Amino acid sequence: MTAISREKSLAHFAKAQKLIPGGVNSPARAFGGVGGSPLVIDRGEGAYLYDIDGNQLIDFVGSWGPHILGHQHPAVIAAVEAALKKGTSFGAPTVLETELAQVVVDAVPSIEKVRMVSSGTEATMSAIRVARGFTGRDRIIKFAGCYHGHADSLLVQAGSGALTLGVPSSPGVPKGCTADTTVLDYNNPQQLSDTLDKIGGEVAAIILEPVVGNMGCVPPEPGFLEACRDLCTKHGVVLIFDEVMTGFRVAYGGAQERFGVTPDMTTLGKIVGGGMPVGAYGGRADIMDMISPVGPVYQAGTLSGNPLAMACGLATLKQLRDESPYAKLEVLTMHLCDALSRAAQAAGIEHSVGQVGSMFTLFFNPERVVSFTQSEKNDTERFAKYFWGMMDRGVYLPCSQFEANFVSAAHSDEDIKKTIDAATEVLSSLA
């Protein structure tokens, strides 16, 4: 086995660092959690990425979630090409945005009306504003290790890049912006119940990732989502599922379909845009009708509902609806996770695996990770060695122990076999 060549990536990234803070437009991709510098990507095709040095890599990042169909799915490319020929942006209603809204409403149990925005951050930020407007209350509850984008009020004990880089609560966020944010432990219904008994009357919304993807893949414990639902109903609190990562991923209708728990509002991103910059938030019609111009809560955006982005998202969702790759993805991912676990066990490496559908994380942690408390025990040094070992064998993983891996419908049995062989070799070398 020889390490992949990285000369061109290294040279280009050195230039990028002089022009862009840290050389990246989003810190999670800076390789800060594993050391070294990122590969610079030239293109994606199906299950593979190709970097500017010409390396082919089996991709388990999928642009951090959107590419459930793999890169450049022909139906998606054709739809975007057709939209492109009509113009790139109008700042006016189009048929495409209503078509995508209809597909989303049909798919996601909680969504009766939906508003398109341009990112997951915008979706969560706006959903919180609407929940506050609807309830007339200010306080929100989030859970440690969940990441809901970088809006001020939500950047408190946040997961993803913030956790990887050790700044889960960011400087630059005024105290006033987080004074109304209460942070609790994920998967702890008793703590949530006790808290709401004390302050329930002040709380506008509880926001959570129904399966956490941003401290690695952490599933909800049985009963946790149901408890969130019941307690929100009891205290008149708006329950928001942040399904930016899980929407159209863990089931076509998201985690709420998979677990049978319906929130009041849902935020979407990633797959809903098929790889274009799209976020969306939706929910009960009486809550969504708080939004301007029907109601008084203001939210707007020049590129919201952008026709190229709508075409891309619409083609992706139609493909998922009509082909339904979910059962196959589940089997493939379970097979991969079982094999990774067996390889780690054979090498005597303490580990646990979190998996829901085609999202998973191999944790270098002796404990099952159910909340932020256990995730702090991850052996991040061992993860970094694993990451680079896999990279040198042509497998591209998320560059942080605190992120989820994604399997796509483009991954073949052969890709999964190659990944298992690579992992078996790397893990035995880390014993």
| DSSP-assigned beta bridge partners for residue 356 | 359
**Cβ within 8 Å of residue 294, ≥6 positions away:** none
Least distance in Å: CB of 21 to ligand HOZ?
Answer: 13
By the rule CB under 6 A, 178 interacts with ligand HOZ: no
Q: Which residue has the tokens 């990279």?
A: 391
Selected range binding ligand HOZ among 21-29, 99-107, 136-144, 202-210, rule: CB under 6 A: 21-29
Catalytically annotated residue among 242, 264, 379, 415: 242
By the rule CB under 6 A, 361 interacts with ligand HOZ: no
**Residues 316, 69 contacting (CB under 8 angstroms):** yes
By the rule CB under 6 A, 64 interacts with ligand HOZ: yes
Q: Which residue has the tokens 């040279």?
A: 11
Is residue 147 part of the annotated active site? The answer reads yes
Q: Which residue has the tokens 């969130």?
A: 228
By the rule CB under 6 A, 160 interacts with ligand HOZ: yes
Choose, by CB under 6 A, the member of 122, 242, 403, 415 that binds ligand HOZ: 403
Selected range binding ligand HOZ among 25-33, 178-186, 318-326, 358-366, rule: CB under 6 A: 25-33
Closest CA to 80 of 325, 399, 308: 308
Catalytically annotated residue among 147, 186, 326, 386: 147
Least distance in Å: CB of 124 to ligand HOZ?
Answer: 11
CA distance 170 to 298: 26
CA distance 248 to 271: 6
Least distance in Å: CB of 331 to ligand HOZ?
Answer: 25
Catalytically annotated residue among 270, 281, 326, 386: 270
Least distance in Å: CB of 214 to ligand HOZ?
Answer: 5
> What is the token pair recorded at 426?
């790397």
By the rule CB under 6 A, 121 interacts with ligand HOZ: no
Q: Which residue has the tokens 């483009």?
A: 410
**Residues 208, 186 contacting (CB under 8 angstroms):** yes
CA dihedral 170, 172, 175, 178 (to 10 degrees): -50
> What is the token pair recorded at 103?
């597909």
CA distance 208 to 143: 7
Quote helix, strand, coil % in the chain, to nearest 5.
45, 15, 40
Selected range binding ligand HOZ among 6-14, 22-30, 252-260, 289-297, rule: CB under 6 A: 22-30
Q: Which residue has the tokens 């982005």?
A: 309
Q: Decide whether 93 or 172 has the Cβ nearer to ligand HOZ.
A: 172
Closest CA to 376 of 159, 198, 204: 159
Q: Decide whether 203 or 397 has the Cβ nearer to ligand HOZ.
A: 397
Is residue 252 part of the annotated active site? The answer reads no
What residues between 331 and 360 interact with ligand HOZ by CB under 6 A? none
Least distance in Å: CB of 261 to ligand HOZ?
Answer: 23
Choose, by CB under 6 A, the member of 9, 181, 188, 214 that binds ligand HOZ: 214
Q: Decide whether 26 or 412 has the Cβ nearer to ligand HOZ.
A: 26
Nearest residue to ligand HOZ on Cβ basis: 26
Which residues are marked as active site? 147, 242, 270
The contact set with ligand HOZ (CB under 6 A) reads: 26, 28-29, 64, 160-161, 214, 403
